[in-house]
Structure 1
């Protein structure tokens, strides 16, 4: 029988969805922040090594790639316009920007997937169960 995940009282849950996204973007477990989220480049671990959260339930699918294409395209569009309007040929612009855009997309794909998984977990989307720590009673 697989080990059960640690209860929220034993794990430092993020205070909000933005800290959860930051943990995911750092490729750490969004729930505890203590263990790695990925076992391979884009393959999440089945279970967190620390809090035992089941990450095999995630369904990020192609959304991280869409985000990456959107961001890289918007960052490089002004550069393309400046290069072509500055007199550089379209072929030279393509020869320079194609490898740059591929490198940028590959560099941001894993952090983007981690952030998407964290977003899904935090909001309880798909097979994830939304969990929050009960607020401490303050006098």
Structure 2
């Protein structure tokens, strides 16, 4: 009983957990998958059995994704306009494609990081 309490009260390192979450891996062991589909958090880790049923990221990953995508698009938009001067249609299409690709790539990683942050801080969701 005392070992269980001591294990539960043990400090969880934030940086390794965030790095594991960035890879969409279990923040506890780093081996099991954290997401079982594009954005759905697993109920428990297949490797170590860590329970993730209480972890909810809500809108946090979406806000972070919008922040990053906005900065990436502004950079590419200014560089493209400055050096290439494409037609407005070509500019809109290329920026839309870049925004979509970047958003699809970073959204699950941000979700993994937020779930890992919650796990490390013992928040059990917001």
Range class of TM-score, shorter chain = 0.7 to 0.9
* TM-score relative to the length of structure 1: 0.75
**1:53 paired to 2:50:** yes
* TM-score relative to the length of structure 2: 0.82
2:81 alignment partner in structure 1: 84
- Consecutive unaligned residues in structure 2, runs of 5 or more: none
Equivalences for residues 25-104 of structure 1 within 5 A: 25-86=22-83, 87-104=85-102
Q: CA deviation at 1:112?
A: 1.2
Q: Is the 8 A contact 2:118 2:125 kept in 1?
A: no
Q: Which runs of 4+ in 1 moved over 4 A?
A: 7-10
Deviations 1:34-54 (A, max 9, x none): 211111111111011122211
SS of equivalent residue, structure 1 residue 105: helix
- Equivalences, count: 120
Q: CA deviation at 1:22?
A: 0.7
SS of equivalent residue, structure 1 residue 49: coil
Query: Aligned match of 2:16 in 16, 19, 22?
Result: 19
Q: Which has the higher contact order (CA 8 A, sep 6+)?
A: 2
- Consecutive unaligned residues in structure 1, runs of 5 or more: 1-6, 129-139
SS of equivalent residue, structure 1 residue 97: helix
Q: Is the 8 A contact 1:14 1:20 kept in 2?
A: no
RMSD value, Cα: 2.5
Give the whole-Å Cα distance in 1 for the aligned partners of 2:54 and 2:104: 24
* Larger relative helix fraction: 2
Q: CA deviation at 1:8?
A: 9.9
